[in-house]
A and B are shown apart, each in its own frame.
Chain A
Amino acid sequence: MSPPTKNVRNIEVIDVSKRYGDVYALKSVSLEMDEGECVALLGSNGAGKTTLLKIIATHTVPSAGGVKILGEDIFKNDGTIRRKIGLVTHDSYLYDELTIQENLQFYAQFFAGNGEKIRLDLIEFLGLKRWYNVPVKQLSYGLRKRADIGRALLHNPDVILLDEPFAGLDITTCDLLVQYFEEQKEKQKTLVLSSHSVEWIKKICDRKVVLKKGKIVDENHIGEKD
């Protein structure tokens, strides 16, 4: 008899609260995400989705609680942790004056190892080859977003955090991304995405977590209560 399979926790959010002045952006949020799982964060504007993603990405320090990624406390050594995280947010992290190549090269240089090889694969996959040497300021919103996704994934992270990844993208690119994210799930990467696009969420996510006023109000597998 084969031993029972145990899910490996890639992300553990433990009783996390974040307060800005008197306002709680997150209040005692606890969440676990396994490897190979894709979790959708749902909720209206101001529900705390972006704050939660930023805390997991080590961008923002929580007011209370903690986060573990692959068993490591993210605030004890976020230098190592950051090599395991890829983050796409509303803001583009690309520099307008630099070309896509220069931008990706800048970011890749910090992630020692296979950045160069992955970057070229990704560029081709995201259909950016034609614009590789074009300054980012000359790109359309969609192309810029694609390049930003390339930036977040160039170091092959174990945990992929995506804030509204499909916003502003055409259907072909969204399909491409879904295909890419499916591949990443098969490679046992964990994906957390916040989106208002239910159609795309149903395509790739295994579980949805609904946030309201900084609290988790609903959590179930996709298809259970849709």
Chain B
Amino acid sequence: MKITLVRRINMSFREFRRATFLIAQKDLKIEFRRPYEVLSILTFSVGSMLIASLALRGSSTVIPEIVAAVLWIIIFFINILTFTTSFTREADRGTLGGLKTLPCSPLAILAGKIIYGTALIFLVICVLVPCSILFLNLQLGGSFPLLIFICFLGAVGFSFAGSFVSGLVMFSEGKTLLLSLLLIPVCMPVILPSVITTGKIIRGASLFDILPELRLLLAFLLLITAIMILTFTFVLEE
């Protein structure tokens, strides 16, 4: 008998999209049934921004690059907090087995987790950016939508990296430590363009000025998508 050790699950794009949204919807529903986790992430981010504003209170003008660094350090930690519970919670509670009984591709499960992560991180960003305007006295003017757009792209990038790494480490013993350690190098292609772009936007740059960084961010998304497509099927195997 011919042995096939690679799982092939045939799904139409419509089925894939449906499965993805069902998984994301389920995760978000669970997240909001236990609001203390989202609230603790929100408290952490607003608290960090407040501390940063107190530290920078002596400066008459805040340097944009410092504001960008503060913002993305907080978002990076939000990313770690979010993804320590993504796949890990499913593995710890045993519900991952339930997902493996579903007639859907492992990639649909991963895509569902990415959407869930993006939604959660972006929700926190939506609170964090107005807080940074308030506490750090930012004068964004017309650049506000562009900053939100970059934050959204960053959230997507973090979510891709975070979901994948969370899936990679979910069966290991020191998963919390491993996740934090692995996320730093894996997220570097997201952190770098996001920080540079945010600094530029605060200085008043237009979309045209940030195109090189955007290209880097998109290249990273393409690369990590390709890696996920090639490897994630094996990641779900115990």
Q: What is the total number of residues of chain B having a CB less than 8 Å from a CB of chain A? A: 32
Decide if A70 is an interface residue (CB 8 Å cutoff). Answer: no
Decide if B226 is an interface residue (CB 8 Å cutoff). Answer: no
- Are the CB atoms of B102 and A107 closer together than 8 Å? yes
- Are the CB atoms of B238 and A60 closer together than 8 Å? yes
- CB-CB under 8 A for A93 and B101, given A14-B1, A98-B29: yes
Which of A58, A61, A73, A152 counts the most chain B CB atoms within 10 A? A61
A60 neighbours in B (Cβ, 8 Å) = 237-238
Q: What is the total number of residues of chain A having a CB less than 8 Å from a CB of chain B? A: 41
Q: Quick check: which of A31-39, A84-92, A182-190, A216-224 contacts chain B, the rest being far away? A: A84-92
- CB-CB under 8 A for A97 and B94, given A60-B238, A61-B237, A75-B6: no
Taking a contact as CB atoms closer than 8 A, the residue among B94, B101, B102 that contacts A92 in the complex is B94
Decide if B97 is an interface residue (CB 8 Å cutoff). Answer: yes
- Are the CB atoms of A78 and B94 closer together than 8 Å? no
What's the Cα separation between A97 and B93 when bound, in Å?
12
B2 neighbours in A (Cβ, 8 Å) = 66, 73
B19 neighbours in A (Cβ, 8 Å) = 110
B237 neighbours in A (Cβ, 8 Å) = 60-61
What's the Cα separation between A89 and B11 when bound, in Å?
26
Decide if A83 is an interface residue (CB 8 Å cutoff). Answer: yes
What's the Cα separation between A92 and B97 when bound, in Å?
9
What are the interface flags for B19-31 relative to A under an 8 Å C-beta threshold, 1 for contact and 0 otherwise? Answer: 1001000100110
Decide if B5 is an interface residue (CB 8 Å cutoff). Answer: yes
B8 neighbours in A (Cβ, 8 Å) = 75-78
Decide if A59 is an interface residue (CB 8 Å cutoff). Answer: yes
- Are the CB atoms of A94 and B98 closer together than 8 Å? yes
A15 neighbours in B (Cβ, 8 Å) = 1
What are the interface flags for B112-154 relative to A under an 8 Å C-beta threshold, 1 for contact and 0 otherwise? Answer: 0000000000000000000000000000000000000000000
- Are the CB atoms of A59 and B29 closer together than 8 Å? no
Show the binding face of B for A, using Cβ within 8 Å. Answer: 1-11, 18-19, 22, 26, 29-30, 33-34, 93-95, 97-98, 100-105, 237-238
Beyond A95-B95, A152-B101, list 12 extra A-B contacts (CB 8 Å).
Answer: A58-B7, A59-B97, A66-B2, A75-B3, A79-B9, A79-B103, A83-B103, A85-B101, A89-B97, A94-B98, A97-B29, A110-B22
Top 8 A-B residue pairs of the complex, sorted by shortest distance between their CB atoms: A93-B98, A91-B94, A79-B9, A97-B33, A82-B103, A75-B4, A79-B103, A110-B102
